[in-house]
Amino acid sequence: MSPTNSNRIAARHRRTRKDHSTETAEDYVEAVAEIQELRGNCRVVDLAERFAVSHVTVTKIISRLKKEGFVDTEPYRPVVLTEKGARLAAESQERHQLVYHFLLSIGVPERIAAIDSEGIEHHVSPETLERFRALAEGYRKKGVNIPSGSAKELPQPQSSRKNDKKRRGSSRSKSK
């Protein structure tokens, strides 16, 4: 294998490792945002229940997210997203919804699209997301019937993609 080809392969693996390193942070801030919206506040026990993990596991992750500036909390108090955490949650929710809608638009059953979008959302580049958006919108314009669970509009790109590019770059923080 030539050095150039070897470098390309190594670069792909580096990106995948970076994507893996932020999955937990993205999943947790997205969950905190959703739970806050549904219940008004989010507690450690809510997250433990949602992810089917122990209270201790959630406490460790929340502690790390607090150090990284994504959440704020005190013992026996709700978990609150910081501005940075809210931005990451919104970006994660947008990616998740876009992948989910794309999968539905190509005929993936809702249950499977919901499961698959949980993993794919963490590993898709901004360029691929834009292709997903364009294809899903094209299918919709052609009258392809997308199941009722996807009645929401496709998420539109945020005014600036620099956060997404920056997040996908070397400044990504470790989450595992």
Average pLDDT over all residues of the chain: 78
Q: Is pLDDT above 80 for 72?
A: yes
Query: CA 68, 70, 74: angle at the middle one, nearest 5?
Result: 90
pLDDT band at 36 (very low <50, low <70, confident <90, very high): very high
Give the separation between CA 33 and CA 39, rounded to whole angstroms.
10
Pick 63 or 129 by higher pLDDT. Answer: 63
With a cut of 70, say whether residue 73 has pLDDT above it. yes
Instruction: Report the alpha-carbon distance of residue 123 to residue 174 in Å, rounded.
Output: 15
Report all structural domains of the chain as residue ranges with CATH numbers, in order of start: 13-81 (1.10.10.10), 95-158 (1.10.60.10)
Average the pLDDT over 134-157 and give the result. Answer: 60
The better pLDDT of the pair 157, 29 is held by 29
What is the C-alpha to C-alpha distance for residues 157 and 84, in angstroms, rounded to an integer? 18
Judged against a pLDDT cut of 70, whether residue 171 lies above it is answered with no
pLDDT in tens, 91-134: 999 889 889 988 988 889 999 999 998 888 887 888 888 888 88
SS3 call for 147 = coil
* Closest of 157, 139, 156 to residue 147, by C-alpha: 139
Q: What pLDDT does residue 118 have?
A: 86
Averaged pLDDT, 32-52: 95
32: nearest Cα among 78, 63, 67, 64 = 78
Asked if the model's pLDDT at residue 169 lies above 50, the reply is no
